[in-house]
Amino acid sequence: MHDWTAAARQLAAQVTGEAPEWYDAVAATPRHRLVPRWWEPVAGSYPPYWQLITTSADGPYSNKTLVTRVGRQHADHATEADHGTGAPTSSSTLPGLIVDMLHLLDPQPGQQVLDVGTGSGYSAALLGHRLGDELVTSIDREDYLVRIAKERLAGFGRVPTIEVADATTTLPSGQYDRLMATVSVRPIPPAWLEALRPGGRIVTTIAQTSLLISADLDDDGTAYGRVLPGPASFMRARQGADYPPRFDDVYAAARDASGEEIRRVEGNDVPDLWTDWELRCLYELESPDIEHRSATLDDGSRIMWLLSPDGSWARAEQASGVVHESGPRRLWGELDRTRSRWYDAGRFPLHRMSAEFGPERSVLLSPDKDWQFEL
């Protein structure tokens, strides 16, 4: 870019209003050097179909997540004739969310920080600028991501420690005062607690939900914390180069078929789980590993599908007020029970929930502690 500094300062002004301590780090970080190429979805495509972006001057300095890898294909290794397919497997998270998490993390001078999920290296760059590279360790599970992040960071003078590691098992040796994860996990790995000094802080998200959580480690080895306002989500920590196939075969059966059980509901009883993120999170906590999909028809009405790995499915049609269900589980019934229980509890905002992460048990609790979600 001809003058990236002006764009970086503009981005810093946009995203650090509530976290002014991070302004200088954002303004000084050439994000375009960390993300020279990325994938953007082709509008209306499903399954996701991606096009390579290589020429956008302002893209790296927009407050957007830039997807750098889809399936097994990194944008660095693609040509403009290539089209990516599959789900995102690595990205550079939108800077505003990274700054919000860093503000919650609140690292102090001299404290050691572990950045879980190197990705493009942007978080490590911000941390290194503010704290000093010698206090920052960043990990990712893939050799290429670690190698290219090191090269690109060193190109503008940032040299944090970056290592290949599986975030769900063994972390780099040492003790840390702060741990921030831009991959989601469930439950919190015991290794994270073991790596923290007493009083240390974790800022992370819970896989399959949009819950952002900050928790501090007590002397008893348990981290106590709270859910933060607003949704935030990250890719789930994975074991292989790509995520395993999900529910396309279940969706094929659920798309138009008549269910084993059919019930009628009022059209406005079909929730939009994309916008009603609090209901979606509670349902995902009570009924783990359920995928939901939706479509908006020409008349503006919605269809929602709930899909389970055991072949169970539900399809709710807003226009007709009909719900079809099949398989060993009744997924619509589970959603309806979660919604009723939440409504009976006064529809408490999720940021009133508390969190306890221990070496043997991770749990989220409703404000009255009557509702507990084992992670």
CA 307, CA 326: separation in Å to the nearest integer? 10
Q: Which residues contact 101 (CB under 8 A, 6 or more apart)?
A: 180, 182, 203, 212, 232
Whole-number pLDDT of residue 48: 66
Instruction: Name the 3-class secondary structure at 142.
Output: coil
* Rounded Cα–Cα distance for residues 55 and 202 (Å): 37
Name which of 77-86, 144-153, 211-220 the model is least confident about: 77-86
Report the distance separating Cα 120 and Cα 92, nearest Å.
Answer: 6
Question: H or E element: which one contains 16?
Answer: none
CA dihedral 126→130→134→139, nearest 10 degrees, is: -30
Mind telling me the catalytic residues? 90
Reduce the DSSP state of residue 84 to 3 states and report it: strand
Alpha carbons 341 and 272: distance in angstroms, whole number: 18
Q: Is the pLDDT of residue 267 over 70?
A: no
Q: Is residue 67 pLDDT above 80, yes or no?
A: yes
Which range of 45-49, 81-85, 284-288 scores highest in mean pLDDT? It is: 284-288
User: By the 8 A CB rule, do 20 and 12 touch?
Assistant: no
The yes-or-no verdict on residue 43 having pLDDT over 80 is no
CA 325 to CA 327: how far, in whole Å? 7
Q: What is the pLDDT of residues 187-222, one digit of tens each?
A: 999 999 999 999 999 999 999 899 999 999 999 999
Query: Is the pLDDT assigned to residue 94 strictly greater than 70?
Result: yes
At 151 the pLDDT is 98
Task: Residue 238: count other Cβ atoms within 10 Å of its Cβ.
Answer: 16
Structure tokens at 68: 């750098």
Radius of gyration of the chain (CA): 22
Domain range summary for the chain, segments of one domain joined by +: 4-31+94-227, 39-92, 248-344
3-state SS, residue 297: coil
Instruction: Tell me the sheet residues that pair with 224.
Output: 216, 356
Residue, of 282 and 3, whose pLDDT is higher: 282
The two three-digit tokens of residue 281, written as one number:
């999170």
Amino acid 236: pLDDT: 81
pLDDT at 45 over 80: no
40: left (phi > 0), else alpha (psi -120 to 50), else beta?
Answer: beta
Q: Which of 29-38, 209-218, 258-267 has the weakest average pLDDT?
A: 258-267
Whole-structure pTM value: 0.93
pLDDT digits (tens, 9 = 90+) for 326-353: 999 999 999 999 999 999 999 999 999 9
Q: Are 241 and 144 in contact (CB under 8 A)?
A: no
Q: Domain 4-31+94-227, what architecture?
A: 3-Layer(aba) Sandwich (3.40)
List the Cα angle 24/120/20 in 5-degree steps: 20
pLDDT digits (tens, 9 = 90+) for 288-316: 889 998 888 888 888 999 999 999 999 99
Cα dihedral 342/343/344/347 (nearest 10): 70
- 139 pLDDT more than 60: yes
By three-state DSSP, how is residue 193 classified? helix
Task: Report d(CA 357, CA 202) in Å as an integer.
Answer: 10
